[in-house]
Chains A and B, each alone.
Chain A
């Protein structure tokens, strides 16, 4: 009996502890400065950085009277009207942008907010957290990429040298055995005067020379792997790769017209009015030189005529003269919208893995053979695509089985290899 009672008491005690525990954790959650900050303040304020509103680190030191700070947070306009000097000063300093009102914040909540702000500010002051962002060495990557060609080249050379040496040794040994056996032989001809060698070398030179000449001639006017230096080191790897910005965010013209469009400065400034420093993985140019991302953003500000902390006036912006990489001769017509919107071709098909390129290079050679080959092989999205609805005969033939639906309709079949489709 006693044992049972004890058990009951224990149970009650346990329930009580659990109950109060949950209440206390909830209270603590209600005063969670971080959650409150992200809910109410983070749209306009950061702790250590000026955004729409000032950086909040040390805000309590800047307000001599804490009561007025609390009143300001709840209703800033009322405090300004009361003529409190600090309030008027902040208001004018920040271009008279009115702060939102938070009349529902309790004293305890504001206190926990300020506590969170002080903690974060102290953390920053103690030294930035050392983030070793797996800065992969580009040289290592490059070496692994080139390894095979280089290795094979060296191996071939070494083997060739070894073969030559062995040939010499062989002839020397032969000479020795001949001497021993008393066979009289003519003085051997050195290999650079040996006619077989010379003939062999001539043929090889002819072949290699011919190959290089032909290749060079074909490559005239073609620019595969062309990697010009741009006025600003803009990394597609950071923007389209790490930050997952869609290609069409900046190059919206690709689905609307002939050109994919180089974004104007205001598109950059959509994000970069706020993002003024780069803290991600280390950046390298194609030559392996390290790049300071923050300095590159400063270059953008110079073009935009933007001074951090002041409202941006877009009329002061000057265009950035990017260097065009993909150039087609004027006698070829190419339309982005036709490929992206009607053809539903992915950007990467022609431009390569752009989201992994630090510096963009020309991926395809943009030769006519390359165009025509793709037009012969690529099947168009024939079904549920308004663009191809006029090809009634093909649709009927596909339905009746006259055309093999597994093979589909290639671009060639809808006139994609006709001369005047691109040359007119």
Chain B
């Protein structure tokens, strides 16, 4: 009987231990033929290429324009503490003159993915990261609809901010290509009532948010 209790305890114990562990290492592989790539894949460490005398940096040549993409933005980023280029960007005109409904919908989708978390789905500067100051983001994002400063901001200056970042906002050049950035600015201008069909009044929107 004692033996039995001992065995039972052992089994229960091992089951308990077995259930609780988190798998931190990958499983074994059996004969990994063709499982691992012999070519360099995305994120692979290619630091040993230099040792072999192969010159490779994963950057495009300066001045490269991808096929089918918009022409580059020629205004460079301001040095810290300078605003000359930021002001000069006001004169840049948007290459996007009109968008079809489908394109506008796509611009809205991109806005909601990339901008909405801070600037709000209603462009009221009250996205889920800010939430009237209750979210984790400490600074109030720009109120894109309802603030004269941003309603009167020229498209070129918005593009500058999207490309290089402004104040606490980072650069979105890595996440959105030039066309997408101009499309989003077009969408914002539509919502501000500056282009095309008038957007619904912003005051209604903000009260609707407040009621929630």
Q: Is B81 an interface residue (CB 8 A)?
A: yes
Digitize A327-345: 1 where CB-to-B-CB distance is under 8 Å, 0 elsewhere: 1011100000000000000
A246-B117, A248-B113 known; A229 vs B24 contact (CB < 8 Å): yes
Picked from B26, B82, B112, the residue with its CB within 8 Å of the CB of A223 is: B26
Whole-angstrom CA separation of A96 from B83 in the bound complex: 10
Q: Do residues B138 and A46 form an inter-chain contact, with CB atoms below 8 A?
A: yes
Q: Which residue of A lies closest to B45 (CB)?
A: A321
Query: Which of B49-57, B166-174, B189-197 contacts its partner?
Result: B166-174
Q: Do residues A220 and B113 form an inter-chain contact, with CB atoms below 8 A?
A: no
Chain A interface extent, by class: 35 or more
Whole-angstrom CA separation of A329 from B42 in the bound complex: 14
Among B98-112, those with CB < 8 Å from A are 112
Among B50-91, those with CB < 8 Å from A are 80-83
Q: Is A98 an interface residue (CB 8 A)?
A: yes
Query: Which of A18-26, A259-267, A349-357, A400-408 contacts its partner?
Result: A259-267
Q: Do residues A249 and B139 form an inter-chain contact, with CB atoms below 8 A?
A: no
Q: Is B37 an interface residue (CB 8 A)?
A: yes
Q: Which residues of A contact B (CB under 8 A)?
A: 38, 42-46, 49, 51-52, 95-98, 146, 149-150, 153-154, 157, 161, 164-165, 217, 219-223, 225-229, 243-246, 248-249, 252, 258-259, 262, 264, 266-267, 269-271, 273-275, 278-280, 286-287, 311, 324, 327, 329-331, 361
List the 3 closest A-B pairs by CB distance, nearest first: A96-B81, A42-B140, A270-B170
A38-B133, A331-B35 provided; 19 other pairs, C-beta below 8 A? Answer: A44-B168, A150-B16, A157-B8, A217-B30, A221-B29, A223-B27, A243-B136, A245-B129, A262-B43, A264-B174, A266-B171, A269-B170, A270-B169, A270-B170, A274-B138, A274-B139, A275-B137, A279-B136, A311-B80
23 A-B residue pairs with Cβ-Cβ distance under 8 Å, sorted by A, are A38-B140, A43-B140, A153-B15, A154-B12, A221-B35, A223-B26, A223-B27, A226-B26, A229-B24, A243-B117, A245-B117, A246-B112, A246-B117, A249-B117, A252-B113, A266-B170, A270-B172, A271-B170, A273-B168, A275-B137, A275-B138, A278-B136, A361-B23
